[in-house]
Amino acid sequence: MIQLHNVSMSYQSDFAALNGINLRIPRGEFVFLTGVSGAGKSTLLKLLYAELTPTRGQVLIDGQNLGRLTRRQIPYLRRSIGMVFQDFKLLGNRTVFENVGITLEVLGWSKKDIGKKVFHILKQVGLEQKMNSTPLRLSGGEQQRVALARALVNDPKMLLADEPTGNLDEDNKEQVLNIFKEANIRGTTVVVATHDRRLFSSSHRRVVVLEKGMIAEDSNGQ
Amino acid sequence: MASNKSATRPKLTNEGFLGRMAYFTTRALANIRQNFLLSLLTVGTITLAMLIISLFLLVFVNLQGATEDWSRRVQVVVYFDRELAPQEITAFKERINTVRGTDRVAYVSRGEALNRFRARLKGQETLLEGVSAEVLPSSLEISLKSASREADAVALYVANLKKIPGLGEVQYGDEWVRRFSAFMNFLRLVGTLLGGFLLLAVIFIVSNTIKLTIYARKDELEVLGLVGATRFFIKAPFVIEGIIHGAAGSLIAVLILSGCYLAFMQNAANFLSFNPAAEGLSFLPAGYLAGLVLGGVLLGFLGSMTSLKRFIK
């Protein structure tokens, strides 16, 4: 369960990126965060993976107050969160296999177990044939699927995506969205920040609209 | 995660210290392979930097050897207007040896003094016609320990020496000693300043090169942070890489220096008017070489640690 209580975030004293946000996302829910550029979508996601600390209010994940986490505890929080970005954030000098396996290396998995698990997840996203390629040789859609595989390989409790389809064509958007849905069916809470209305217009999922750092609309009626 | 405590991960069973170190070293070697050009640039810079330092040290060590030789000329001579009896010589030597700073004492008889005089005036022996040994004084020549060869130390030594009763006239060429001390102080000052600036320049260049190579890989640091790597997990392979770069750079520098030294010693006589081997031009002692390699390792270690600090918050 994600809970935000009266959360405000200011980068400078006179500019509030988020202002008095109250939000509850139950475990296993699929939520779209939307709004124009600068509405506060990315800031909200950054608060959820403890990249930022709110200037006011509380962010709780499964009852854990993220504002109270020490610097040492943040990595352990992130191991339960998968993250996907518009620019993929893949390492160009490592193969697809190595890019995905990095999540499990960090957890101390053995080479053999990493091999099995990475192959399995690459098969799920349809990229097992390309596991020895470097990301630069892949299309945008394929790169985003590698990033998704990296985010999902350790079965995270939560998947956060910041404009994940921003650089993709319609076919690839569909493919990526389907992977999100599959992860959600398996029990992962999914939060996708996007300004692309077409992505969620026919999805029948919860949509939270942000405007000038405040919640302007929540399809869940909260 | 119900509490802060549960945010810490339980240790995996196969996660011993050695296992982790082996993983980090393998990762560091893989990183070097994957970023070969950047590694080459870092090793090249460290090699050049250590080569400059080692060349400076080579000059410094040889200059130090030369000045040590020159300083042996600082001598205190006690003149007597008579020949000393063997018992007297022994007694004086014993007394003089108790004075702090004495290295060696040698007695020069009147006859030996005349022989030396003759040797010095070789070719102009006619000048010595009619000169007998009785005209010349006998003397005790005192060599000083290196710590007592400075102008002030020599003056203090002579003052202590004069307290011994029965000694004749004491001379030590105080003007020469003063000039020599001034020259040595100047040499030390120039050496320290030059060495200091050189060291600062080398630290600056190497740390900036390492910083640039880490900056070029800041995406890797970011991704590792996002997938939940601890700061130690992110830093360790980079630091090991730094140590490998430092060790490789300084070893190559020592090898190049050794090669240049050997080539110079073998061929210098062809284009120089002196033979450096005969002049006692020496190579760096083993301690210095080990120090250089350790210095390179330290440079790589500290360079990567300080650079990582800027990128990992």
pLDDT digits (tens, 9 = 90+) for B35-70: 899 899 999 999 999 999 999 999 888 888 887 777
Task: Please count the residues of chain A.
Answer: 222
The average confidence (pLDDT) of chain B is 85
Nearest to B35 among A76, A93, A106 (CB): A93
pLDDT of the residue at B3: 41
Q: Calculate mean pLDDT across residues A64-73.
A: 92
Mutate which of A89, A110, A143, A159 to test chain B, going by most B C-beta atoms within 10 A? A89
Class of domain A30-42+75-218: alpha beta
Nearest to B219 among A69, A75, A89 (CB): A89
**B2 contacts on A by Cβ (under 8 Å):** 62-64
Q: How many angstroms separate the CA of residue A170 from the nearest CA in chain B?
A: 27
Least CA distance to B30: which residue of chain A? A94
Taking CB atoms and an 8 Å limit, are A73 and B228 in contact across chains? Answer: no
Tell me the C-alpha distance between B306 and B242, whole Å. Answer: 11
Q: Is the pLDDT of residue B1 over 50?
A: no
Could you give the C-alpha distances from B212 to A32, A164, B45, B217, B303, in angstroms and in order?
A: 39, 30, 12, 9, 11
pLDDT of the residue at B15: 61
Dihedral-angle region of residue A156 (phi above 0 means left; psi in -120 to 50 means alpha; beta otherwise)? beta
pLDDT digits (tens, 9 = 90+) for B168-217: 788 887 777 778 878 888 888 998 999 999 889 988 888 888 888 888 88
- Nearest CA to A112 out of A123, A103, A101, A122 is that of A101
Asked which of A55-64, A166-175, B194-203 is least confident by mean pLDDT, the reply is A166-175
Taking CB atoms and an 8 Å limit, are B1 and A63 in contact across chains? Answer: yes
pLDDT digits (tens, 9 = 90+) for B236-291: 999 999 999 999 999 999 999 999 998 888 887 777 766 666 667 788 999 999 99
Which H, E and C letters describe A59-106, residue by residue? EEECCEEHHHCCCCCHHHHHCCEEEEECCCCCCCCCCHHHHHHHHHHH
pLDDT of the residue at B17: 78
**B6 contacts on A by Cβ (under 8 Å):** 64
Question: Residue B100: what are its φ and ψ, rounded to 5°?
Answer: -65, 130
Mutate which of B213, B227, B231, B309 to test chain A, going by most A C-beta atoms within 10 A? B227
**A75 contacts on B by Cβ (under 8 Å):** 225, 228-231, 233
pLDDT of the residue at B277: 64
Residue B8 pLDDT level (bands cut at 50, 70, 90): very low
Nearest to B7 among A77, A89, A110 (CB): A77
The average confidence (pLDDT) of chain A is 92
Q: Calculate mean pLDDT across residues A106-129.
A: 92
pLDDT digits (tens, 9 = 90+) for A16-31: 899 999 999 999 999 9
Q: Is the pLDDT of residue B119 over 60?
A: yes
Q: Which domains does chain B have, with CATH numbers?
A: 17-69+182-311 (no CATH), 75-171 (3.30.70.3040)
Least CA distance to A99: which residue of chain B? B223
Residue A221 pLDDT level (bands cut at 50, 70, 90): low
Q: Which residue has the tokens 């500290």?
A: B302
Tell me the C-alpha distance between B150 and B144, whole Å. Answer: 10
- Nearest CA to B173 out of B214, B206, B131, B142 is that of B142
Q: Is the pLDDT of residue B7 over 90?
A: no
Interface size A-B, in CB pairs within 8 Å, comes to 79
pLDDT of the residue at A49: 95
Share of chain A above pLDDT 70, in %: 99
For B181, the token pair is 């001390």
Q: Which residue has the tokens 């060869």?
A: B149
Q: Which residue has the tokens 């990567």?
A: B304
- Nearest CA to B39 out of B218, B212, B292, B295 is that of B212
pLDDT of the residue at B257: 94
Taking CB atoms and an 8 Å limit, are A102 and B223 in contact across chains? Answer: yes
**A91 contacts on B by Cβ (under 8 Å):** 219-220, 223
Residue B10 pLDDT level (bands cut at 50, 70, 90): very low
The DSSP line for chain B is --SSGGGSPPPPTT--HHHHHHHHHHHHHHHHHHTHHHHHHHHHHHHHHHHHHHHHHHHHHHHHHHHHHHHTT-EEEEEESSPPPHHHHHHHHHHHHHSTTEEEEEEE-HHHHHHHHHHHTTT-GGGGTT--GGGSPEEEEEEE-GGG-SHHHHHHHHHHHTTSTT--EEE--HHHHHHHHHHHHHHHHHHHHHHHHHHHHHHHHHHHHHHHHHHTTHHHHHHHHHTT--HHHHHHHHHHHHHHHHHHHHHHHHHHHHHHHHHHHHHHHHHSSS-TTTTT--PPPHHHHHHHHHHHHHHHHHHHHHHHHHH--
**A69 contacts on B by Cβ (under 8 Å):** 4, 7
Q: Calculate mean pLDDT across residues B213-236.
A: 91
Q: Is the pLDDT of residue B124 over 80?
A: no
Query: Do residues A206 and A12 make contact, with C-beta atoms less than 8 angstroms apart?
Result: no
pLDDT of the residue at B278: 65
**A52 contacts on B by Cβ (under 8 Å):** none
